[in-house]
Structure formats: C-alpha cells, structure tokens
Amino acid sequence: MQESAIKRWALHIFLAATLAFMLAPILIVVVNSFNASAFNAWPPHGFTLDWYRKVLANPAFQRGTVNSLIIGVISTAIVLVLGTPIAYALARIRLRGVTGLKAILFAPLIVPRVAIGFAMFVLFVALGTATGLRLYGTFTGVILAHCVLMLPFVVAILTVSFGEVDPIVEEAARDLGASPIAAFRLAVLPQIKGALLVSGIFAFITSFDEVETTLFVVRPAVNTLPVEMYHFLEQYQDPTIAALSTLLIAFTFFIALAVPFAVKGNELLRMMTSGKQ
C-alpha cells in the first residue's frame, strides 16, 4: 500500500511538472504583456497597460483582425461543406484506390507548410499568367490556401464520427420513405453535430493562426493578423506582440469554452462527459 501511494504521488508530481512546463511559455507571454520595459526586460520592471492600448490603436492589427475573421469564417464553412461528404464516403463506401486518395487528401498534414505556401505561390502566379485568373494576393487565394490546410483535419475528425454512427438508423429512415439526402440530413447529421462543431472550431482556429503558408499568397491589402504580427516583429521588439498574443490566447479559450455551451444548452457537454455520441 505504501509503495502504491508513493507511485501515485510520484505520478501526480510528474504530471504537475509536465503541465507547468507546457504552461510556462504562455504565462511568461502574459506576464510580459504588462511589462513596463520597452525592451522585454525580464523580470518585468513595472506594470503598464500601454501595450494593450497600442495594440487596439494599431490600424494594421485592426485590418489584419478583420481579414482573419473573414477568411477564417468563409474557409471554415467551405471545408465543412466539402469535408462532410468526403468523410461520409470514406467511412461508408469501400472503393479501389481509396488508399491513394487518402494519401493525397492527408498530404498537407505531413508536407511542411512553407513548401505548401511556395507551391501555392507558384500555382497562383502560373494560373494568373496563363488564364488571367487572379488568385495571388486576393481573399479568394488565401481562402483556397487555408482550405487545403484545413480539409484533412476536418475529414479525419468526421470520418471517425461517421464510423461510429450505426448504418441501421439511416437504413431505417430509407425504409420509411426518406430519400438518401433526407435520410442523411435527418438520421445521420444530428448524431455527428458535436463532431461538426469541434471540427469547425478547430478549422477556424487553424485558419486564424496560420502564417507560414499565408506569407506566400498575400499582399498588404489582405494581410491576416498573424502576418501583420510577423511584419511587426521585423521592426520592433517591445511587448506589443506579447499583449496581442495574450488577447489571442483569451480569444481562443473563449471559443473553445463558450461555443460548446451555446449548442442547445449543455447538450455537447453532456455528450462529452457521458462518452456517448
């Protein structure tokens, strides 16, 4: 018993140390956002809110935030519309060559995003030269690039969820006279709404935070917030970025914690805690 208690306490200490190690960078950023020093001196020399005022008054950050929200919402909607039928097909239909299809579909998960960004840049410029189609430096081009990055995550999450839905429910709806689309909408979609919400949140955060690929396909007029932060760091080294990062951390926690509770009360929370789909 004593040896078991020692092991349990050792495990708790190890987990606490691991958690502290993972949270330390975030805590340092948050503390530094109130640093009175203009040169990120550590430990902080005082307390100030000037950096937050500077963030909120910066036109580039304002424009980048609006652009990121527009691009994130549109690209999330697109990947959900495209990813849902793809995931359904992968979970329900057995086709030859599906392994090759999955390799192409999930390639963005393993290819460096810098390489994807450069490939997108070359593709957009080539298309513009050959056909006159303007994608480089436009909202459409950035949204397309983000969709390529986000689609594998959405498909992976939804494929697992579709695999857990009993096909008998859909077959029963078909036997009762529902069309294939109606059976899917009425019998299948309600059972994966939690997965749709989770994948949508994950896709939006991925788009909002994307910088490596975006750098290759934007122009100043459509710069996203992470790109504006990158350019700001090239010129300044004060705690302004720490203040903005703190606001983004709070924004991310708000999305992750508040949105699930907005789905029919606590239905999603009950689903997660009960382990039922």
pLDDT digits (tens, 9 = 90+) for 3-29: 677 778 888 888 889 988 888 888 888
Rounded to whole angstroms, the Cα distance separating 67 from 217 reads 14
**Average pLDDT, rounded, for the chain:** 82
Give the model confidence (pLDDT) of 130-162 as tens digits.
888 888 888 999 999 999 999 998 988 888 888
Give the model's pLDDT for residue 262.
Answer: 55
Residues 6+ apart with CB under 8 A from 86: 105, 151, 155
Give the model's pLDDT for residue 187.
Answer: 79
Residue 167 pLDDT exceeds 50 = yes
Domains with residue ranges and CATH for the chain: 60-274 (1.10.3720.10)
**What value does the mean pLDDT take over residues 93-97?**
73
**What value does the mean pLDDT take over residues 197-221?**
87
Give the model's pLDDT for residue 266.
Answer: 45
Rounded to whole angstroms, the Cα distance separating 101 from 123 reads 21
pTM across the whole model: 0.81
**What value does the mean pLDDT take over residues 207-230?**
88
Rounded to whole angstroms, the Cα distance separating 132 from 129 reads 6
Residue 204 pLDDT exceeds 60 = yes
Cβ atoms of residues 136 and 125 within 8 Å: yes
Residue 273 pLDDT exceeds 60 = no
Between vectors from CA 105 to CA 136 and to CA 167, what angle results, nearest 5°?
135
Within 13 Å, how many C-alpha atoms sit on residue 113's CB side?
A: 18
- Selected residue with higher pLDDT from 118 and 180: 118
Q: What is the dihedral of CA 244, 247, 251, 253, to 10 degrees?
A: 120
Q: Please name the residue ranges forming H helices in 50-189.
A: 50-57, 59-92, 98-105, 113-131, 139-163, 167-175, 180-183
